[in-house]
Amino acid sequence: MNAMGYVGAIISIVAGCLGLIWPKQVSRTIGLQIPGRLGTSEVRATYGGLFIGAGVAVVMIASSDAALVLGAAWAGAFIARAISFVLDKSRTKENIAGLVIEGVMAALLISPEQSVALQIGDHATSNTYDVKADVQLHQQGQDQTVQGRFVRSLCHCSQQTATPLRR
């Protein structure tokens, strides 16, 4: 995962902290009214905990795939807001700001530089991984994962007939 993935994850965590710590201010900023304790709890959970959890997961997993999932969530919010912009005619400066923020966050996390992914296995399992990182691990002799063994077997193909590598 590159620096943009970390930046997107950290911004998500910061946004989540704002929602968790200041739910009333955040809800006012985004145009929501909190109807009581349950509403406050909902803002803390959705705009706080969900953003914090997703951002922390991306930082901990530190993979382009994790960043892609968080980016897809931001892109989903962008698309839903754009649909609302058209259908609900909710063309306010706050909604435009939301579109910009969500679009930038999605772009940060889904950027082409995040990874070069290779699809392996059948389409039902959709196993993907970061080839560039695995090749680097192979070159350093640190590839103890299934993907690392796969890369090692690919590298051996150019030197000899490939045979499955066993643990």
Contact call for residues 81 and 50 (beta carbons, < 8 A): no
Rounded CA separation 102/67 (Å): 14
Per-domain residue ranges of the chain:
3-114, 117-157
CA 103 to chain centre: 13
The predicted structure's pLDDT at residue 2: 87
pTM score of the predicted model: 0.66
Q: Among the listed ranges 8-17, 131-140, 151-160, which one has the minimum average pLDDT value? A: 151-160
- The length of the chain in residues reads 167
pLDDT per residue as tens digits for the range 58-70: 999 999 999 999 9
Cα distances from 167 to residues 25, 130, 145, 149, in angstroms, run 55, 21, 10, 9
Tokens encoding 26: 């955040």
What is the residue type of 38? L
pLDDT per residue as tens digits for the range 27-48: 998 888 998 999 999 999 999 9
